[in-house]
Amino acid sequence: MPAPVDTSRGSLKVYLGYAAGVGKTFQMLADGHAAAQRGVDVVVAYFEPHARPDTIGQAQGLEIVAHRKIEYRGKVFQEMDTEAVLRRKPQIALVDELAHTNVPGSERTKRWEDVQVVLDAGIEVWTTMNVQHIESLNDQIWQITGIQVRETVPDGIVRQAAEIVAVDVTPEALLNRLKRGAVYKPEMVEKALTGFFKGSNLGALRELTLRQAAHEVDLRQSAYDETRGFQVPRISEARPSAATDDQSKERILIHITADPSTGMLIRRGRRVADYLHADCTALFVHRTPELSQLPAEERQAVEKHLRFARSLQIETRILSGNDIAKTVVEFARGNQVTQIFVARAEMSLVERLRGRNFTEDIVRSAQDLQVTVVADRSRRQVS
Amino acid sequence: MRVSELPRPSPERLLKQVQAEENKRWGAKLKIFLGYAPGVGKSYRMLDEARRRHERGEDVIVGAVQGRQSEEVQALLHKLEMIPPLQTPEGQAVDIDAILRRAPQVCIIDPLAAHNAPGSRNPNRWQDVQELLRNGISVLTSVNLLHVQEIKEKVQAITGKDTTETIPKSFLLAADDIVIVDVPPDLCLSRQGEKLTSTGISNSQERQLSELRELALLLTAEVVDAQLESYVHAHGMEPVFGTHERFLVCMTPHSNALAMIESGRRNKDRFQGELHAIYVCEPGRSKRERVTIRRYFEVAKQAGAATDVLESDDPISAIVDFARQNRITQIFIGHSARNSWRDRLFGDPVLRLIRAAEGIDVRVFPH
């Protein structure tokens, strides 16, 4: 795959899996050995100290940069020593677990932030992560598995990767590894089997991983075709390529509120926009003349959502307007928006008395536009 | 949704279950390693698994392997017992009788899509594999995307390569296990022994391989989805919902069905998802409306939609029930160009659908 335009920056490769034990780290280390044999300067910048025996064996023979030891609440934790990696300046640094949250007292909160620093120094990074750590998939993962994943990586970070490699294994083989004690310590196995590793979860996460990897390959291919000016549509797609599909270019508008469901709305909007190669804007409308006049709690919630949208590379806008639904719809009409994304709001008491709610106001008043009422994926369907 | 309300199993699924049960009685399993092109390392992955199983005490032998092998692969092969193929004047064939007499737990038959020499007891390798499975012998095998019958044409259009050796896709769907061996295109090319040009790999080669890679990942996802469905069904569980985008277009004579179908087609292609189009039949439609609906059905079918007519005097519930049974993630519905007496009495059907379709996105289209 073509490296990003900025050639002074290191390129990123992500080994994508669907659970602990599928073999991401093992594969990364194996490829690291192969590169080292070709004469490339490879180091292991971070490697889980409690790794599985097979994996530890695989790391042998590769240079490991000593971890940084940080004491927190009387315990010693190991983190990647980013400064040491920069000083060592290898061609390729292998960094396990991109989604990891650093222990308090570390320079940066998240490992993916450390990885940014390493990439900025012109070092190529290979790293590992699971599909459930992709931010925009968070609600879908919850809806499918009932598992709330807390450590996530913004989609933009994954998108930077020049290459995504799917590490695939059958759930059966994974369960065998688990039962042999090759993944977790014996006392953890029972818990894992009834929790994350249970029943249909593994199959569903595996399917998501494969589809995500296909999507990532597709995105890179489209970007590549655009920069190289390829006019010929790809054969694998019946659809026209992104370059020739401009007349039907979609533009998505996400309506931001203080409601907690907004996070889910932003993630879904981002995801759909990526698949449709659409532009994506987020809009907040306040009734008060100035944003600062909003009640503090509401303002903080809104600002959090706007920051979150920006972190997913969504352009944000703030408008003032008495009739919120009307302001949103007029903005959409004036900005060639093809689809408005709104949350499926619960009706408040006032709204119940009025017989309809805000979401329904938008649906009614935007009869010339497409309105997508996004399901609340944070609440699982009850049978 | 209660289990009793789940859709009936299709004949294909029943057949698959019967086949699976039959093999299971003997404990025999079929595992297929899928690659998007030569050089991804399928044989290595397969033989490495065979080696590990052998070391763990499983009785693994080799019944057939590819002719040309890398040094690494040959080193793995040396560790395993081999039953040589039958040599006939016409060529080679798997020595099924010898394997059955030897009766190992696991046998490697590779590549899956090869033909046996003319006059052999099975013309195709995959039939040999079936025979071993029926006799309680598990099989490890590998196949390239090019050799999957239903996908061959696409691969041919991308690479210009052709083959007469193919296996039906249903064979993959019926396998107990499938694993995709995924590597970046540059690695694949260097293993194929291509000389890297000064700028790396030629653009067109990389583009071809990327396309193949996407197809292979999606094919595997499809097989995994089918396996998940049988698993869930066999265990009487709720359908797993949301791994795959599935769009449902609700057609009515007074909504802009054509725009919805067109958008549905584009979404299906972009998401590599599924498209359904339905019409809820209400009594008292005029002849003109029926003609309109028939035309919409034609267009929907051309767009690749699965079409259905639902009969119900409660269209909203019928749509939501259908959506849940078919694991729909997005419902497309149109504003109606005119309000009927029912709408005035019961409220706007679009709003009623939004309220009823909990857990599913609803996309409302202009008329």
- Which residue did the predictor score with more confidence, A316 or B8? A316
Half-sphere exposure of B77 (CA within 13 A, CB side): 21
End-to-end CA distance of chain B: 33
Q: Which amino acid is at B73?
A: V
CA angle, residues B187, B191, B197, in degrees to nearest 5 = 70
Confidence label for A383 from pLDDT (cuts 50, 70 and 90) = very low
The rounded distance, in Å, linking the Cα atoms of A127 and A14 is 5
Q: What percent of chain A has pLDDT over 90?
A: 52
Average pLDDT estimate for A241-262: 75
- Which residue did the predictor score with more confidence, B223 or A143? B223
What's the pLDDT tens digit per position in B163-185? Answer: 889 999 988 988 989 999 998 88
Confidence label for B7 from pLDDT (cuts 50, 70 and 90) = very low
The tokens of B241 are what?
Answer: 């919902």
Neighbours of A185 (CB within 10 A): 8
Average pLDDT estimate for B230-256: 83
Q: Cβ of B207 under 8 Å from any chain A Cβ?
A: yes
The tokens of B284 are what?
Answer: 């008292």
User: Would strands A370-374 and B361-365 be described as parallel, antiparallel, or unpaired?
Assistant: antiparallel
- The alpha carbon of residue A160 is apart from the nearest alpha carbon of chain B, in Å, by 16
Q: Cβ of B72 under 8 Å from any chain A Cβ?
A: no
3-class secondary structure for A103-159? Answer: CCCCCCCEHHHHHHHHHHCCCEEEEEEEHHHEHHHHHHHHHHHCCCCCCCECHHHHH
Residue (of B214, B213, B327, B217) closest to B274 by Cα position: B327
Among all chains, which residue has been given the structure tokens 């849940």? B324
- Is the model's pLDDT at B341 over the cut of 60? no
> Is there a contact between B158 and B211 (Cβ–Cβ < 8 Å)?
yes
Contact: B348, A373; criterion CB under 8 Å: no
> Is there a contact between A125 and A156 (Cβ–Cβ < 8 Å)?
no
Q: Which residue of B182, B211, B215 is in closest CB contact with A213?
A: B182
Residue A122 class from Cβ within 10 Å (0-12 exposed, 13-18 middle, 19+ buried)?
middle
Average pLDDT estimate for A209-228: 85
Distances (CA, A) of B107 to A175, B23, B45, B111: 22, 15, 15, 12
> Is there a contact between B231 and B203 (Cβ–Cβ < 8 Å)?
no
- The alpha carbon of residue B59 is apart from the nearest alpha carbon of chain A, in Å, by 17
Confidence label for A102 from pLDDT (cuts 50, 70 and 90) = very high
Q: What is the pLDDT of residue B288?
A: 83
The rounded distance, in Å, linking the Cα atoms of A262 and A159 is 23
Q: What is the pLDDT of residue A119?
A: 97
What's the pLDDT tens digit per position in A268-327? Answer: 999 899 888 899 999 999 988 888 888 999 999 999 999 999 988 899 999 999 888 999
Computed over every residue of chain A, the mean pLDDT equals 85
The rounded distance, in Å, linking the Cα atoms of B3 and A198 is 20
The tokens of B94 are what?
Answer: 């798997």
- Residues of chain B found within 8 Å of residue A169, distances taken between Cβ atoms: 179
Q: Which residue of B has its CA nearest to A358?
A: B351
- Is the model's pLDDT at A118 over the cut of 90? yes
Distance of CA B207 to the CA centre of its chain: 23
Q: What is the pLDDT of residue A5?
A: 52
Q: Cβ of B156 under 8 Å from any chain A Cβ?
A: no
- Maximum CA extent, chain A: 73
User: Would strands A279-286 and A251-256 be described as parallel, antiparallel, or unpaired?
Assistant: parallel
Q: Which of A19-28, B45-54, B61-70, B268-277 has the lowest mean pLDDT?
A: B61-70
CA angle, residues B325, B329, B333, in degrees to nearest 5 = 95
User: Got the DSSP string for A5-65?
Assistant: S-TTSPPEEEEEESSTTSSHHHHHHHHHHHHHHTT--EEEEE--TT--HHHHHHHTTSEEP
Count A/B contacts: CB-CB distance under 8 Å: 180
Neighbours of B93 (CB within 10 A): 23
- Residues of chain A found within 8 Å of residue B158, distances taken between Cβ atoms: 235-236
Q: Cβ of B191 under 8 Å from any chain A Cβ?
A: no
Confidence label for A347 from pLDDT (cuts 50, 70 and 90) = low
> Is there a contact between B145 and B36 (Cβ–Cβ < 8 Å)?
yes
User: Would strands B91-93 and B86-88 be described as parallel, antiparallel, or unpaired?
Assistant: antiparallel
Distances (CA, A) of A238 to A215, A223, B264, B298: 15, 18, 14, 19
- Residues of chain A found within 8 Å of residue B231, distances taken between Cβ atoms: 199-200, 203
Distance of CA A180 to the CA centre of its chain: 32
Q: Cβ of B86 under 8 Å from any chain A Cβ?
A: no
The tokens of B144 are what?
Answer: 């390239």
Q: Which residue of A has its CA nearest to B3?
A: A383
User: Would strands A92-95 and A124-130 be described as parallel, antiparallel, or unpaired?
Assistant: parallel
The conformation of residue B167, written as its DSSP 8-state character, comes to B
Which of A37, A136, A168 should be substituted to probe chain B, the one whose Cβ sees the most B Cβ atoms within 10 Å?
A: A168
The rounded distance, in Å, linking the Cα atoms of B267 and B244 is 12
Average pLDDT estimate for A145-171: 90
Q: What is the pLDDT of residue B6?
A: 40
Please give the ipTM for the structure prediction: 0.81
The rounded distance, in Å, linking the Cα atoms of B102 and B84 is 12
Q: What percent of chain A has pLDDT over 70?
A: 87
- Residues of chain B found within 8 Å of residue A217, distances taken between Cβ atoms: 210, 213-214, 217
pTM of the model: 0.82
The conformation of residue A176, written as its DSSP 8-state character, comes to H
- Is the model's pLDDT at B345 over the cut of 70? no
The rounded distance, in Å, linking the Cα atoms of B107 and B139 is 5
- The alpha carbon of residue B120 is apart from the nearest alpha carbon of chain A, in Å, by 33
- Which residue did the predictor score with more confidence, A234 or A123? A123
Q: Which residue of A173, A224, A276 is in closest CB contact with B270?
A: A276
- Is the model's pLDDT at B202 over the cut of 80? no
Q: Report CA Rg, chain A.
A: 23
* Angle between helix B315-325 and B349-356 (nearest 10): 40
End-to-end CA distance of chain A: 45
Q: What is the pLDDT of residue A331?
A: 95
DSSP alpha helix (H) spans, B160-256: 169-174, 185-192, 203-234
Residues 261-300 of chain A whose Cβ lies under 8 A from any Cβ of chain B: 268, 275-277
Please, which residues have CB within 8 angstroms of residue A112's CB and are 6 or more apart in sequence?
Answer: A98, A99, A153, A154, A157
The rounded distance, in Å, linking the Cα atoms of B219 and A365 is 42
> Is there a contact between A103 and A67 (Cβ–Cβ < 8 Å)?
no
Computed over every residue of chain B, the mean pLDDT equals 85
Q: Is the dihedral of CA B29, B35, B38, B41 positive or negative?
A: negative
Torsional class of A313: left (φ above 0), alpha (ψ -120 to 50), beta (otherwise) = left
Highest-confidence segment of A191-195, B69-73, B144-148? B144-148
What's the pLDDT tens digit per position in A59-85? Answer: 889 999 999 999 999 999 999 999 999
Which of B240, B254, B268, B275 should be substituted to probe chain A, the one whose Cβ sees the most A Cβ atoms within 10 Å?
A: B240
What's the pLDDT tens digit per position in B45-94? Answer: 999 999 999 999 999 999 998 877 788 888 888 889 999 988 888 888 89
- Residues of chain A found within 8 Å of residue B243, distances taken between Cβ atoms: 144, 204, 207-208, 211
Average pLDDT estimate for B248-276: 91
Residue B253, φ and ψ in degrees, nearest 5: -65, -20
Residue (of A261, A62, A169, A162) closest to B185 by Cα position: A162
Residues 109-148 of chain A whose Cβ lies under 8 A from any Cβ of chain B: 140, 143-144
The conformation of residue B5, written as its DSSP 8-state character, comes to G
